Amino acid sequence: MIQVRRIHPLLLLQAVLLLLLFCMPEAALRGASAALHSCAGQIIPALFPFLLLCEWLTANPDLDRLGRPLALIAQFACGQRSCGSTLLLGWLGGFAAGAQAIGGAYRRGQLTVRQAEALLPLCITVSPAFIFVTVGQLMLNSRRLGLALLGAIFGSNLLCGLLAGRWWLRRAAAPAAGGSPTPASHTSSSPGFSACAARAAQSMLTICALVVFFGAVNGILAQLPGLHRFYGLICALLEVTNGCLQLSRLPAGRVFACCGALSWLGLSALAQVRALLPGELCLKPLLLARLLHLPCSLLLLHFLLRLLPAETPAFSSLAPQVIPITHGKPDAAFVLFLLCCLALSQLERLPKAGSPKP
């Protein structure tokens, strides 16, 4: 009797993508070129300094002081009060900085496997600067919509992250679940600035490689016949920035469509999170929280649009305001300010000239 082995769906998807790449090389080249231009002009200048600052800040033992306001939230989500600073970096910098911060906390022994996985749904999100400036003001041309999207995404992220984190910890506390109850140290000393720069550069290279790959896939799908009606939805499933750009051009319901794209994050963002995390950590709690995050964010957006006052257009003879396309300056400036505060605190501890040494 002849036995037919079942083909794995992932292997079938890889074969289809490889076939499309050979059949449509020009479309893939255009998509990859656009992605490379985005990496060189926007992603690297805005994200790499922030990743380097996050990596350098996490190596500072005094960083826990900055996360004290979020200590109770971190305690409820993952059982570690000292991870408030990790949560702060993830909320300010977005999913890439959040994944890097969680991976760094796990490597330093600050989190166990289960605790790091429980913190993922709460920490992995889109940066507030991207939501308010890029999507709200540049794509939707409305500060009110940007503020409503910001409240909906972060409110849903807080609720769903806390619920998913507690559920994952309780599931891990069952007798069948393994893992040590206390974190185990993986590094012996804090890395220096050069090591932080090398790790940030490696993370940046991984992010750009995934952006180029999904850009090539997006270029191929844009040329396939019969997909032009669902092109905005396909872009949102693949990548959050291009997805929000395409959905913002809809004649109706564009703010709810952009909210759905921001809630899902896109396969590119999830692949970047997976690449930046250690291999021991799984994304199951994050993916489960994303399924709950979508309806919760849409419902919260509906209520926020009713509460926020509507914008009334006014006549003006002045030229329209020009807003540069960027989403990294406000949050990077805030982290730079925190870095200066930490440097000043370290300088105050140094012995002054003429004072007796302890």
pLDDT attached to residue 178: 43
Dist. CA 149–CA 163, nearest whole Å: 21
Dist. CA 108–CA 59, nearest whole Å: 9
Dist. CA 176–CA 183, nearest whole Å: 19
Dist. CA 128–CA 120, nearest whole Å: 17
Q: Which two tokens stand for residue 9?
A: 């769906």
pLDDT attached to residue 191: 64
Buried (b) or exposed (e) across 223-235, using 16+ Cβ within 10 A? eeeeeeeebbbbb
**Cα separations (Å) of 169 from 11, 86, 98, 138?**
33, 18, 19, 40
- Please provide residue 308's backbone torsions phi and psi, each rounded to the nearest 5 degrees: -70, 140
Return the sign of the alpha-carbon dihedral for residues 9, 165, 271, 147.
positive
DSSP 110: S
pLDDT attached to residue 160: 92
User: Taking Cα atoms as reference points, which of 150, 156, 87 lies closest to residue 118?
Assistant: 87
**Cα separations (Å) of 299 from 293, 295, 305?**
10, 6, 10
Buried (b) or exposed (e) across 118-150, using 16+ Cβ within 10 A? bbbbbbbbbbbbbbbbbbbebbbebebbbebbb
Dist. CA 265–CA 255, nearest whole Å: 15
Per-residue pLDDT of the chain (358 residues; tens, 9 = 90+): 455 456 666 666 677 777 877 888 888 888 889 888 888 887 888 788 878 887 777 767 666 777 788 888 888 888 888 888 888 888 888 888 889 889 888 888 888 899 999 999 999 999 888 899 889 888 898 889 999 999 999 999 999 999 998 899 888 665 444 444 555 544 445 667 788 888 888 888 888 888 888 888 888 888 887 777 778 888 888 888 888 888 888 888 899 999 999 999 888 899 999 998 998 899 999 999 999 999 999 999 999 999 887 665 555 555 555 545 444 556 666 666 666 666 666 666 655 545 555 4
DSSP string, 264-319: H--HHHHHHHHHHS-TT--SHHHHHHHHHHHHHHHHHHHHHHHHSPPPPP----SP
pLDDT attached to residue 148: 93
Q: Which two tokens stand for residue 114?
A: 């289960």
pLDDT attached to residue 256: 93
Is 116:302 a contact under the CB 8 Å cutoff? no
Is 168:177 a contact under the CB 8 Å cutoff? no
DSSP 59: T
Dist. CA 134–CA 4, nearest whole Å: 51
